[in-house]
């Protein structure tokens, strides 16, 4: 017989006696009696390891009591974490986990994985083809003198073309200005002629009006003369 201190759910420490046979069951029974919680709803934990009936209890390490969670998927995440410490591997594979829609991440990521593999294969094939081509041809050697000569020629051509374009642009601007001036002169001349024509038309119209007035005056005089003659004839009678 030996005694152990167990940390309860409330954080208090309980003194429990250990028997050689069925240590796990005896511990749970004693804790359930003291805490007033059924045995089925409790489980023991030592460090980061969840204890089972088959495993032996290390008396030197501290033991904690925890409640079992009801419902859900049976603590899949906790199982993954425990597998990490059992195997001694730092990396946890999350491919068996599920997404929001309930699908496994393995099945969700499969198409992308296949596409990436295809791309890698294509890259490798292209690299092999390039290596084979270089091996057959012996590589492409660049002649530096020819390259430098071509480079100088291209620079000169670019400079000449830029200069030619600028000069042409300047000439075009000058031509545009001249054309604008000529157009203005033409417009001014047309306006002047229009004004002259309009003035001439006004003078003609005035002359016509004067002639009409003269004719009207003549007609009035003729009418007056006729009236006088008629009056004289009547008096004679």
Note the pLDDT of residue 202. Answer: 63
Q: Which of 193-202, 203-212, 219-228 has the lowest mean pLDDT?
A: 193-202
Note the pLDDT of residue 140. Answer: 57
The more confidently predicted of residues 127 and 58 is 127
3-state helix, strand, coil in the chain (%, to 5): 65, 10, 25
Tokens of 124: 């490798």
Residue 51, number of CB atoms within 10 A of its CB: 20
pLDDT digit string, tens, across residues 210-233: 888 888 888 888 888 777 777 777
Determine the average pLDDT of the residues in 34-40.
81
The more confidently predicted of residues 22 and 183 is 183
pTM over 0.85: no
Helix H, strand E, coil C: the string for 14-28 is: EEEEECCCCHHHHHH
Pairing of strands 49-50, 42-46: antiparallel
How far apart (Å, rounded) are the C-alpha atoms in residues 159 and 151? 12
CATH architecture of 2-92: Roll (3.10)
- Residue spans of the domains in the chain: they are 2-92
How far apart (Å, rounded) are the C-alpha atoms in residues 37 and 27? 13
pLDDT digit string, tens, across residues 80-129: 566 555 545 455 567 778 877 788 888 888 889 999 999 999 999 998 88
Q: In this structure, are residues 5 and 14 in contact, taking their beta carbons and an 8 Å threshold? A: yes
Phi–psi pair at 6, nearest 5 degrees: -115, 135
HSE (CB half, 13 Å, CA atoms) of 107? 7
Note the pLDDT of residue 29. Answer: 81
Q: In this structure, are residues 52 and 24 in contact, taking their beta carbons and an 8 Å threshold? A: yes
Residue 86, number of CB atoms within 10 A of its CB: 9
């Amino acid at each position: 017989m030996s005694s152990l201190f167990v940390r309860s759910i409330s954080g208090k420490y309980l003194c429990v006696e250990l028997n050689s046979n069925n240590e796990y069951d005896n511990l749970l029974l004693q804790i359930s009696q003291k805490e007033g919680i059924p045995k089925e709803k409790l489980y023991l934990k030592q460090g980061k390891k969840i204890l089972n009936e088959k495993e032996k209890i290390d008396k030197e390490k501290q033991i904690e009591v925890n409640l079992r969670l009801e419902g859900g998927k049976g603590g899949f995440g906790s199982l993954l974490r425990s597998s990490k410490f059992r195997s001694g591997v730092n990396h946890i594979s999350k491919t068996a986990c599920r997404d929001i829609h309930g699908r496994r991440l393995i099945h969700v990521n499969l198409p992308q994985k296949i596409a990436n593999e295809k791309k890698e294969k294509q890259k490798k094939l292209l690299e092999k083809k390039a290596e084979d081509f270089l091996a057959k041809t012996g590589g492409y050697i660049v002649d530096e003198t020819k390259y430098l000569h071509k480079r100088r020629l291209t620079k000169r051509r670019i400079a000449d073309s830029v200069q030619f374009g600028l000069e042409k642009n300047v000439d075009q601007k000058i031509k545009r200005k001249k054309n604008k001036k000529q157009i203005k002169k033409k417009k001014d001349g047309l306006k002047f002629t229009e004004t002259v024509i309009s003035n001439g038309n006004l003078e003609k119209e005035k002359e016509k009006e004067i002639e009409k007035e003269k004719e009207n005056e003549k007609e009035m005089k003729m009418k007056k003369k006729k009236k006088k003659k008629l009056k004289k004839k009547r008096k004679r009678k």
